[in-house]
Amino acid sequence: MIELGREDDAVPWLMRAMDAPRYEAPQFPHVNLARIYEKKGRLLEAVAEYGRALDKMPGYAPAVGGLRRLQGKVN
């Protein structure tokens, strides 16, 4: 949905994925939600979601890259 430009439609699905106990890649929905927040200018929320992704999988490159990209914008 994100790739189709339907970010708002994707949010509930990402929230459900975060709550799913057996989701195989728990960092994915956090990074994708962060991408949505970043696109909408909600930078602090994006930073928080990238951080949650790193809590799930330390060193996850897309989350690290997202945080680095936003560091200059939120300071």
Token pair for 56: 């799930």
CATH fold for the domain made of 7-74 = 1.25.40
- Taking each continuous run of H as one helix and of E as one strand, the counts in the chain are 4, 0
Longest dimension (CA), the chain: 36
Q: What ranges do the domains of the chain cover?
A: 7-74
Are the CB atoms for 66 and 31 separated by under 8 Å? yes
| Concatenated DSSP letters of 36-51 | HHHHTT-HHHHHHHHH
Per-residue pLDDT of the chain (75 residues; tens, 9 = 90+): 777 788 888 898 898 988 888 878 999 999 999 999 999 999 999 999 999 999 999 999 999 999 999 988 876
Q: Look at residue 4 in the predicted model and tell me its pLDDT.
A: 75
Q: Look at residue 30 in the predicted model and tell me its pLDDT.
A: 95
Cα angle 12-60-11, degrees, rounded to a multiple of 5? 10
Q: Look at residue 63 in the predicted model and tell me its pLDDT.
A: 97
